[in-house]
Amino acid sequence: MSISLSPDPAAPARPPDDTEGLSVWPSSALPTTDGDVTVGGVSLAGTADRFGTPVYILDEDEVRDRCRAYRAAFPDADVVYAAKAFLCRAVAHWVMEEGLGLDVCSAGELALAVTTGFPPERIVMHGNAKSPEDLLTAVRVGVGRIVVDSTSEIARLAAIVPPGTRQQIMVRVVPGIAAGGHTKVRTGTDDQKFGLSIADGSAQHAIAKILGQPHLELVGLHCHIGSQIATVKPYVATVRRMVGLMARIRDQHGLALPQLDIGGGHAIAYRPGEDSLDLAALAERVLAELEDGCARARLPVPRLTIEPGRAVIGTAGVAVYRVLAVKRTGERIFVAVDGGMSDNPRPALYGVRYAPRLIGRCSASESRPVTVVGRHCEAGDVLADGVPLPGDVRPGDLLAIPAAGAYHLSMASGYNLVGRPPVIAAVRGNARVLVRRESLEDISRRDIGL
């Protein structure tokens, strides 16, 4: 489906100092004189009216621009999009066209990608606990690399590689670097479930075991230290540790590994004023450390892989909700919308807060702090706390939440059986449905009886 909703020609250009509060929105976002915002030339209020709410709008050009920015910053590296941030057929297609690889962590993500035409050799398969189906599907479709995350996986994988062939693999190691926006997304130290520790020797043990497997070809090391990392320093330290381990592997086994994957985790800003990771600085410092470290260790420089997810798709997404109720209790004003933790579990999981904006009409009312809550049956279903909204905000209004492209719908649940929202692509004034709304019929069809 495709509709054309052109931006209001009277819309003023966005001022550079973010007086419009759009700094965390897609770069195409423009406020209009009638209180709306266009994204990719498409009216958000018009999209909400046409497709219903809640609705997610994805700016296709923003995703493609981010892919290009990564490829320009890392021209000699493999840039692999982390599908867990958000995957649908169109996104797989855009990322493929922009020349990126794909990080998948289930047979489901893998099947969606390859049936959309994504080249399997550009796919990396992850997972701390891969099911037999995950591993079989990966080997059967011929993914480029499988990242081994536990010792027991080695024999399981070796046993399913067809005779006469070899599967390229990497080993996920824990470099012992603490970084990341929340304890639940810190994966660089030994106190969490991912990877094999360098400190206790389990990474080295797994590597020795893999080298004894004729059907497995160890092509490199992998690590992913965490998510929402806004500074370059932890990545530089990680590269130093990884190169150190590569040197020890060379000394012990006479093998110079040709690849190094340092994962993703690059921070974006969710609210104006928050830091995002500086991509140019990341490229400069990481590549310098890799070259210097390898020269010091007399290692050939391995081919680098990076795996950004959120930083590719996060700012491209905007969620639009309709206000269902406004309630004053004691000192607080609650503005309740028609979505919430079932389409965005991030506030409940990590305590993050968003910056909603009234769209679709102009208000002359003075702003006052409100708490924007979802419709779900939990007091913790809070999308934004103490955020300024016009004093006359009322049922029927539309609220838009920027930076909604990553880890919202990919982590959406069926809580309260409200159905998951659709995803609409916005590009050059056209809106088209990428993923349709989950209907009550979809939900009831799975429930097959008493």
User: Which one of 66, 122, 126, 322 is in contact with ligand LLP (CB under 6 A)?
Assistant: 126
Q: Are 171 and 210 in contact (CB under 8 A)?
A: yes
Q: Site map for ligand LLP, 212-251, x if CB under 6 A? A: ------------x--xx-----------------------
Q: How far is the CB of 218 from ligand LLP (least distance, A)?
A: 18
Q: Which of 434, 412, 414 is nearest to 422 (CA)?
A: 434
Q: Considering the rule CB under 6 A, would residue 103 count as an interface residue with ligand LLP?
A: yes
Q: Considering the rule CB under 6 A, would residue 407 count as an interface residue with ligand LLP?
A: yes
Q: How far is the CB of 65 from ligand LLP (least distance, A)?
A: 17
User: Which one of 30, 45, 67, 82 is in contact with ligand LLP (CB under 6 A)?
Assistant: 82
Tell me how crowded residue 42 is: count the other CB atoms within 10 A of its CB.
Answer: 27
Residues 345-364 that bind ligand LLP (CB under 6 A): 346, 350
User: Closer to ligand LLP at the Cβ: 42 or 286?
Assistant: 286
Cα 382 from Cα 44, distance rounded (Å):
22
Residues 5-64 that bind ligand LLP (CB under 6 A): none
Region of 11-19, 80-88, 381-389, 436-444 interacting with ligand LLP (CB under 6 A): 80-88
Region of 38-46, 87-95, 134-142, 257-265 interacting with ligand LLP (CB under 6 A): 257-265
Q: Site map for ligand LLP, 412-441, x if CB under 6 A? A: ------------------------------
Q: Are 30 and 14 in contact (CB under 8 A)?
A: yes
The site for ligand LLP, by CB under 6 A, has a size of: 23
DSSP per residue over 27-82, as a string? TT-EE-TTS-EEETTEEHHHHHHHH-SSEEEEEHHHHHHHHHHHHHHSTTSEEEEE
Q: How far is the CB of 174 from ligand LLP (least distance, A)?
A: 12
User: Which one of 264, 293, 347, 419 is in contact with ligand LLP (CB under 6 A)?
Assistant: 264
Cα 306 from Cα 271, distance rounded (Å):
25
Q: How far is the CB of 353 from ligand LLP (least distance, A)?
A: 13
User: Which one of 109, 307, 343, 381 is in contact with ligand LLP (CB under 6 A)?
Assistant: 307
Cα 367 from Cα 437, distance rounded (Å):
33
User: Which one of 311, 387, 400, 418 is in contact with ligand LLP (CB under 6 A)?
Assistant: 311
Token pair, residue 128, equals 């701390």
Q: How far is the CB of 336 from ligand LLP (least distance, A)?
A: 23
User: Residue of minimal CB distance from ligand LLP?
Assistant: 309
User: Which one of 66, 145, 241, 266 is in contact with ligand LLP (CB under 6 A)?
Assistant: 266
DSSP per residue over 118-141, as a string? --GGGEEE--SS--HHHHHHHHHH
Burial of 12 (0-12, 13-18, 19+ CB in 10 A): exposed
User: Which one of 234, 265, 293, 374 is in contact with ligand LLP (CB under 6 A)?
Assistant: 265
**Residue 377 catalytic?**
yes
In 161-276, alpha helices (H): 202-211, 233-253
User: Closer to ligand LLP at the Cβ: 94 or 407?
Assistant: 407
Q: Considering the rule CB under 6 A, would residue 263 count as an interface residue with ligand LLP?
A: yes
Residue type, 290: L
Q: Which of 163, 290, 148 is nearest to 220 (CA)?
A: 148
DSSP H/E element including 154? helix 151-160
Q: Which of 409, 417, 420 is nearest to 444 (CA)?
A: 417
**Look-up of token digits 């070899």:** 166
Cα 97 from Cα 80, distance rounded (Å):
13
User: Closer to ligand LLP at the Cβ: 87 or 336?
Assistant: 87
Q: How far is the CB of 360 from ligand LLP (least distance, A)?
A: 28
Integer CA distances (angstroms), 376 to 60, 318, 403, 413, 428, in order: 30, 20, 21, 11, 35
User: Closer to ligand LLP at the Cβ: 43 or 202?
Assistant: 202
Cα 161 from Cα 432, distance rounded (Å):
41
Residue 279 sits at φ, ψ, to 5 deg, of -65, -40
Q: How far is the CB of 93 from ligand LLP (least distance, A)?
A: 19
- Which residues form the catalytic set? 377
Residues of this chain that interact with ligand LLP (CB under 6 A) are 82, 84-85, 103, 126, 185, 224, 227-228, 263-266, 307-311, 346, 350, 406-407, 411
